């Protein structure tokens, strides 16, 4: 009987032929794919270059000082300040008077007059920081809006803090409306009005005296024991953000004494927004709620935690008429960002890492970046950290695993589609 079968050699030859055919077709498809996209893929590039940008940092700050609240009698009495805010007083000095009648509205009217008197005196003596009327009106409008928002959200502490800012703005507007050619006459009229209002409060029962020397301020916000200099210098980012959420303590007071001329402004900002701020450097800080007053302040802390940076500035200046509202916005001038210029259109995210695609020859590569500042059309990214003599990075400076940092003169692809690591442009 004749046996029909395929021998081993024949099967191997057929298999090799089929495999070669499949590989050839795959290779032709691969080449065709890249030729097609190489002809149709259009990219735009620019070299990575150095850039320096100077911007202002806007933030909501909180003021820290060593303050002692002065207890006031309870039971239907009124406390009226006897000295202006910011007055340096000695231990045992009388700073407020206690009257038999209870009328918060009358006390508020007296304090408003006191603010107007202080502002007019500063104008007369040439020490005023009052600006144009339109700017003051803008501040009043902004303060009213912030108070309304704080009230809607139930933030009683913010309402109390912003109230003093609004009063300061109203005082400046009243001063601007006065006839500067007769400031002494205006001061005399205000003093007469103040005396009449004080008489409505009844009999003077006693005077509040200080137990220590310092600077007197009539307004208390219930946060005097918490927002201290010690805390400003040692709190963490988390502790700061928890602190500003706490409700203020409420108690009857006759004002407070700030025992030191040094005070602090602290704020929490996104890590990438601090730019070239350097510990120990001095910066001009503007306070919009104080007529845009600019004060030199020293950066004494710059601590980062979980993507947030705590900035603490110190100041040794106590300008006349300055409102020490606990919470108020600030603007830090001349923050320098230095790094590599990258168009916003070039930024990509690969495996959760921000970076850009670059062109090396005709091959596309991905380079990681650390964004310091993002503007409308351009980013400033950090220069790549330098390696040590052993060829390794310092702790925390190495790029993500399997990646490299963008460097100067790399050719950044600013426009292109379907880009990927190792992609070949033909």
User: Which pLDDT tens digits describe the chain residue by residue (426 residues)?
Assistant: 444 445 666 666 766 676 777 777 777 776 666 555 554 557 889 999 999 887 788 899 999 999 999 988 876 778 888 888 888 999 999 998 888 888 888 888 888 888 778 777 776 765 554 444 555 666 676 677 777 766 666 665 556 656 666 766 676 666 555 545 577 888 888 889 888 988 888 888 888 889 889 999 988 888 999 999 999 999 999 999 999 998 887 667 888 999 999 999 999 998 867 766 888 999 999 998 887 888 999 999 999 998 899 999 999 988 877 888 899 999 998 667 889 999 999 999 999 999 999 999 889 999 999 998 888 889 999 999 988 888 888 888 899 989 999 999 999 999 888 888 998 887
Q: In angstroms, what CA-CA distances link 260 with 54, 64, 220, 300, 333? A: 34, 11, 17, 17, 26
CATH number (domain holding residue 295): 2.40.420.20
* d(C-alpha 399, C-alpha 305), whole Å: 20
Contacts of 236 (CB under 8 A, 6+ apart): 303, 305, 310
> What ranges in 206-299 are assigned the alpha helix state H?
229-234, 237-243
Burial 73-100 (b: 16+ CB within 10 A, else e): eeeebbbbbbbbbbbebeeebebbbbbe
* Residue 181: per-residue pLDDT: 55
- Residues 246 and 351 both lie in one domain: no
CA 102 to CA 95: how far, in whole Å? 19
Encoding tokens for residue 233?
Answer: 């210098």
Residue 390's pLDDT is 86
Rounded to an integer, what distance in angstroms lies between the CA atom of residue 258 and that of residue 260? 6
Task: Please indicate, yes or no, whether residues 112 and 166 belong to a single structural domain of this protein.
Answer: yes
Specify the pLDDT at position 64: 97
pLDDT value for 134: 52
336 shares a domain with 212: no
Give the integer Cα–Cα distance in Å for 132 and 142: 16
In total, the chain counts a number of residues equal to: 426
Question: Interhelix angle for 183-199 vs 104-124, to 10°?
Answer: 160
Cβ atoms of 256 and 220 closer than 8 Å: yes
Residues 244 and 99 in one domain: yes
Measured CA to CA, the distance from residue 85 to residue 56 in angstroms comes to 30
Shared-domain flag, residues 225 and 267 = no
| Six token digits for residue 337 | 């960002």
Distance CA 375, CA 377 (A): 6
- In this structure, are 117 and 246 located in the same domain? yes
- Rounded to whole angstroms, how far apart are CA atoms 277 and 162? 28
Contact 199, 78 (CB under 8 A): no
Looking at residue 160, its pLDDT comes to 61
Structure tokens at 368: 């990681």
Contact 265, 61 (CB under 8 A): yes
Q: Domain range for residue 92?
A: 67-261+320-326
Let me know: does 110 contact 80? Beta carbons within 8 Å.
Answer: yes
Same domain, yes or no, for 56 and 175? no
Which pLDDT does position 207 carry in this prediction? 87
Judged on CB neighbours under 10 Å (0-12, 13-18, 19+), 58 is middle
Do 56 and 26 share a structural domain? no
- The total domain count for the chain is 3
Question: 146 and 191: one domain?
Answer: yes
String of b and e for 335-347 (b: at least 16 CB within 10 Å)?
bebbbbbbeeebb
Same domain, 23 and 166: no
CA dist 243 to 117, 154, 228, 266, Å? 35, 17, 11, 12
* Cα(310)–Cα(240) distance, integer angstroms: 8
CB within 8 A of 129, min separation 6: which ones? 122, 290, 291, 293, 319, 321
Q: Do both 23 and 135 map to the same domain?
A: no
Question: Alpha-carbon distance 210 to 67, whole Å?
Answer: 12
In a shared domain, residues 255 and 116: yes
* Alpha-carbon gap, residue 266 to 235, rounded angstroms: 10
CA 15 from centre of chain: 71
- What b/e string do you get for 351-385 counting C-beta neighbours within 10 Å, with b at 16 or more? eebbbbbbbeeeebbbbbbbbbbeeeeebbbbebe
């Amino acid at each position: 009987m004749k046996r029909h079968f395929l021998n081993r050699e024949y099967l191997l030859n057929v298999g090799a032929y089929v495999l070669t055919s499949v590989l050839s077709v795959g290779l032709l498809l691969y080449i065709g794919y890249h030729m097609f996209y190489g002809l149709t893929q259009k990219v735009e590039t620019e070299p990575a270059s150095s850039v320096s940008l100077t911007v202002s940092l806007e933030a909501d700050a909180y003021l820290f000082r060593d303050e002692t609240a002065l207890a006031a009698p309870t039971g239907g009495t009124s406390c009226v300040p006897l000295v202006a805010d910011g007055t340096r007083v000695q231990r045992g000095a009388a700073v407020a008077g206690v009257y038999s009648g209870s009328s918060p509205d009358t006390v508020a009217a007296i304090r408003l007059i006191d603010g107007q008197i202080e502002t007019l005196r500063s104008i007369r003596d040439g020490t005023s920081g009052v600006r144009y009327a339109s700017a003051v009106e803008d501040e009043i409008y902004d303060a009213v809006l912030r108070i309304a928002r704080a009230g809607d959200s139930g933030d009683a502490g913010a309402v109390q803090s912003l109230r003093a800012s609004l009063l300061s703005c109203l005082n400046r507007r009243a001063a601007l409306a006065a006839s500067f050619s007769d400031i002494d006459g205006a001061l005399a009229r205000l003093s007469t009005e103040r005396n009449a209002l004080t008489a409505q409060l009844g009999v003077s029962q006693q005077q509040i005296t200080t137990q220590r020397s310092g600077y007197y301020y009539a307004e208390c916000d219930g946060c005097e024991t918490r927002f201290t200099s010690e805390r400003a210098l040692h709190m963490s980012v988390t502790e700061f953000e928890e602190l500003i959420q706490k409700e203020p303590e409420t108690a009857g007071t006759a004002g407070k004494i700030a025992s030191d001329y040094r005070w602090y402004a602290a704020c929490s900002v996104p890590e990438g927004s601090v730019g070239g701020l350097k510990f120990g450097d001095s910066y001009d800080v503007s306070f919009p709620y104080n007529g845009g007053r600019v004060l030199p302040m020293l950066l004494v802390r710059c601590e980062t935690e979980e993507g947030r940076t705590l900035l603490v500035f110190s100041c040794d200046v106590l300008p006349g008429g300055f409102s020490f509202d606990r919470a108020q916005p600030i603007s830090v001038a001349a923050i320098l960002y230095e790094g590599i210029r990258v168009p916003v259109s070039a930024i990509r995210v690969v495996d959760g890492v921000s970076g850009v695609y670059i062109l090396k020859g005709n091959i596309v590569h991905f380079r990681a970046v650390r964004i310091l500042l993002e503007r409308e059309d351009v980013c400033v990214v950090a220069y790549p950290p330098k390696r040590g003599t052993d060829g390794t990075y310092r702790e925390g400076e190495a790029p993500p695993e399997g990646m490299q940092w963008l460097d100067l003169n790399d050719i950044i692809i600013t426009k292109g589609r379907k880009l990927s690591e190792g992609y070949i442009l033909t």
